[in-house]
A and B are shown apart, each in its own frame.
Chain A
């Protein structure tokens, strides 16, 4: 089993601790994405797995073997770097072959491996070219070729698509996904781009300030974020956060904000929470736009409607705070013209504690 296991992994530079005891089990063949804002410790964690940074405390095992003190080359991992890390003086074939040459593989093995990898990545026509003569996407493919050719137990990706333009990024994202399906190698991928995380990952690890906030499948994290940080980080546009107070209603607890009231009786833990301040997490996609004719709607003031084609983003304000709604446009243009609020199914609202930002228990949304 070539999984990766992190137990209480700590990274400290002198007195400054940047990664505070991370626990993570990556299963064999799994594609795990570490995501978080800049400085959250995700790259440092990846570099500790690669062996480029010393592990200050905790245990790292790869394929069941304790590797804290094992040199990077003996960990059997391959890493793809953000700026490709290609050798400018070597052509594509030699760049791909570099790792094999270092390991003194036979000439025949090297030649056939380079040919095979070139074929997989569509680099065959460029094998003789130098990196300077390649486009960004091609360079990134060479960088992946260098990782693939060694047939490592684990692939480590450190923001490999950050240097590419948006279109190429989408394309390479799909290629990485296909490659992972084809090769089935355990992969750990670091990015700050939540779209990359959502599309690539079997499981996402959201990190913040050197700690793991939540681990789960993309949909699990999207639907059931454990706190406001995860809720705000995943999804584009991010989840709307509305401050509210729980009051008693005829049928159970009701969230009250301004003149609006939303029935929240399905959240079991709210039954005894009358008077509690909460934050309502409302996904821009989960609301239904409403005009003046709809009763029980939550009123918003519309500032701007961005039409993106099949859908539109409605930038509005709710009690003075920005509130974004994402809605389909087809057959709805008339409604959009007269929009004055929205309705939402109560079970799609996520309720967080206003003080701690933690999701209140008992409100899992099924996928």
Chain B
């Protein structure tokens, strides 16, 4: 510190203050910093924008309409002006046999889809991975991917034709074996196997791409090392490939469980008929019939909300369990 009486420069206190002030100015407010960040990275945000808009327009904005689940909604009064009626629709819903049947069917169909449909793409991917002949591998992959790119309407048409009692290939083959024609699509007990089978045929190949990508990411030296250690192809598949793609399998399982109530309902609508409602009617088709065909929008909204809440709880639970036991999770 200067003791010179003529010293006119800044005092230590002033210097400290100035330094702090300069630092404060340099750091800027949160808003300024966000602004700087956006200015720097705007290209990335621009790329994100369409998705955000899509989410807002098609998923968040419609949530405004969810309130009609608790209202006596009339299209003439509009969403805002319809009177509140509390949980009345939910009461009706849980006393509605058709709804309860739809919930039961949804769970059963989903369970079968998960049980038989989930492992199938994994098995396919593992099998493709073992195929050495590249030409065979590529043609086989193309063939199993193909159904995914065909419209559900056409798939349903193919299924209906294949199971037709008069000209369908299935009944024709049964006829050769001396078995009488079966009216598959009108029999409730045949609906679920046909639906689950169709789903697997349509999607298993395409879903296997995810697992093939995961398998491609496994370091080749793991296999080389195992070869030197004396592992057979079978052992390498179970001891290296499967554990290596386990995180992917778990993530896919979580997503699948979250969507367990989202049975592909356009396929159900295309395949079911009143004769098979008993086993085929699911929550989404129930909502469709009540809401769009019956005009009971409020009641259908309540059913839809119930569906969404259950799905939300399921995905949260699956994620939490997975995070705890396998260190793998969606978030």
Question: In the complex, what's the smallest C-beta–C-beta distance from B87 to chain A, in angstroms?
Answer: 48
Question: In the complex, what's the smallest C-beta–C-beta distance from A152 to chain B, in angstroms?
Answer: 9
**Is B224 engaged at the interface, CB distance under 8 Å to the other chain?**
yes
A-contact 0/1 string along B209-233, CB 8 Å cutoff: 0000000000101101111111100
Given known A87-B243, A88-B244, A89-B246, contact A103–B230 (CB-CB < 8 A): yes
**Is A335 engaged at the interface, CB distance under 8 Å to the other chain?**
no
Given known A87-B243, A88-B244, contact A52–B229 (CB-CB < 8 A): no
Q: Which residues of B contact A99 (CB under 8 A)?
A: 229-230
> How far, in whole Å, are A293 and B228 apart by their CA atoms in the complex?
64
Contact: A89 with B227, CB < 8 Å? no
Question: In the complex, what's the smallest C-beta–C-beta distance from A114 to chain B, in angstroms?
Answer: 14
Contact: B225 with A72, CB < 8 Å? no
**Is B96 engaged at the interface, CB distance under 8 Å to the other chain?**
no
Interface residues of A in 44-64 (CB under 8 A from B): 50-52
**Is A79 engaged at the interface, CB distance under 8 Å to the other chain?**
yes
Contact of B228 among A51, A82, A83 (CB under 8 A): A51
> How far, in whole Å, are A150 and B221 apart by their CA atoms in the complex?
18
By beta carbon, the residue of chain A nearest B236 is A102
Contact of A78 among B224, B228, B231, B239 (CB under 8 A): B228
Interface residues of A in 33-85 (CB under 8 A from B): 50-52, 72-74, 77-79, 81-83, 85
**Is B92 engaged at the interface, CB distance under 8 Å to the other chain?**
no
> How far, in whole Å, are A82 and B222 apart by their CA atoms in the complex?
11
**Is B235 engaged at the interface, CB distance under 8 Å to the other chain?**
yes
Question: In the complex, what's the smallest C-beta–C-beta distance from A333 to chain B, in angstroms?
Answer: 45
> How far, in whole Å, are A72 and B227 apart by their CA atoms in the complex?
6
Q: Which residues of A contact B120 (CB under 8 A)?
A: none
Contact of B229 among A88, A89, A102 (CB under 8 A): A102
Contact: A87 with B228, CB < 8 Å? no
Contact of A85 among B222, B231, B239, B243 (CB under 8 A): B222
Contact: A52 with B235, CB < 8 Å? no
Given known A102-B229, A146-B229, contact A85–B240 (CB-CB < 8 A): no
Q: Which residues of B contact A146 (CB under 8 A)?
A: 225, 229
Q: Which residues of B contact A89 (CB under 8 A)?
A: 243-244, 246
Question: In the complex, what's the smallest C-beta–C-beta distance from B228 to chain A, in angstroms?
Answer: 5
> How far, in whole Å, are A51 and B230 apart by their CA atoms in the complex?
11
**Is A229 engaged at the interface, CB distance under 8 Å to the other chain?**
no
Q: Chain B interface secondary structure, helix, strand, loop or mixed?
A: helix
By beta carbon, the residue of chain B nearest A90 is B243
Q: Which residues of B contact A87 (CB under 8 A)?
A: 222, 239-240, 243
By beta carbon, the residue of chain A nearest B240 is A87
By beta carbon, the residue of chain B nearest A99 is B229
Q: Which residues of A contact B246 (CB under 8 A)?
A: 89
Contact: B225 with A85, CB < 8 Å? yes
Q: Which residues of B contact A82 (CB under 8 A)?
A: 221
Given known A89-B244, A89-B246, contact A52–B222 (CB-CB < 8 A): no
> How far, in whole Å, are A103 and B235 apart by their CA atoms in the complex?
11
Question: In the complex, what's the smallest C-beta–C-beta distance from A11 to chain B, in angstroms?
Answer: 16
> How far, in whole Å, are A81 and B240 apart by their CA atoms in the complex?
16
> How far, in whole Å, are A146 and B224 apart by their CA atoms in the complex?
13
> How far, in whole Å, are A90 and B225 apart by their CA atoms in the complex?
14
Contact: A52 with B243, CB < 8 Å? no
Q: Which residues of B contact A88 (CB under 8 A)?
A: 244
Contact: A98 with B226, CB < 8 Å? yes
> How far, in whole Å, are A88 and B328 apart by their CA atoms in the complex?
14
Q: Which residues of A contact B225 (CB under 8 A)?
A: 79, 81, 85, 146
Contact: A77 with B228, CB < 8 Å? yes
Count chain A CB atoms within 10 A of each CB in B219, B226, B230, B244 and give the residue with the most: B230
> How far, in whole Å, are A88 and B239 apart by their CA atoms in the complex?
11
Q: Which residues of A contact B230 (CB under 8 A)?
A: 72-74, 99, 102-103
Interface residues of A in 104-155 (CB under 8 A from B): 146, 150
Contact: B221 with A83, CB < 8 Å? yes
Question: In the complex, what's the smallest C-beta–C-beta distance from A292 to chain B, in angstroms?
Answer: 56
Q: Which residues of A contact B222 (CB under 8 A)?
A: 85, 87
Interface residues of B in 219-271 (CB under 8 A from A): 219, 221-222, 224-231, 235, 239-240, 243-244, 246
By beta carbon, the residue of chain B nearest A50 is B228
Contact: A81 with B229, CB < 8 Å? no
Contact: A72 with B244, CB < 8 Å? no
Q: Which residues of B contact A50 (CB under 8 A)?
A: 224, 228
Query: A residues bordering B, Cβ < 8 Å?
Result: 50-52, 72-74, 77-79, 81-83, 85, 87-90, 98-99, 102-103, 146, 150
25 A-B pairs (CB sep. < 8 Å)? A50-B224, A52-B224, A52-B228, A72-B227, A72-B230, A73-B230, A74-B230, A77-B228, A78-B228, A78-B229, A79-B224, A79-B228, A81-B224, A85-B221, A85-B222, A89-B243, A89-B244, A89-B246, A90-B243, A98-B226, A98-B239, A102-B229, A102-B230, A103-B229, A146-B229
Beyond contacts A73-B228, A90-B243: 19 other A-B pairs, Cβ-Cβ < 8 A, are: A50-B228, A51-B228, A52-B228, A72-B227, A72-B228, A73-B227, A73-B229, A73-B230, A74-B230, A79-B224, A81-B224, A85-B219, A85-B222, A85-B224, A98-B239, A102-B226, A102-B229, A102-B235, A103-B229
- Which 3 residue pairs across A and B have the least CB separation, nearest first? A73-B230, A99-B229, A85-B225
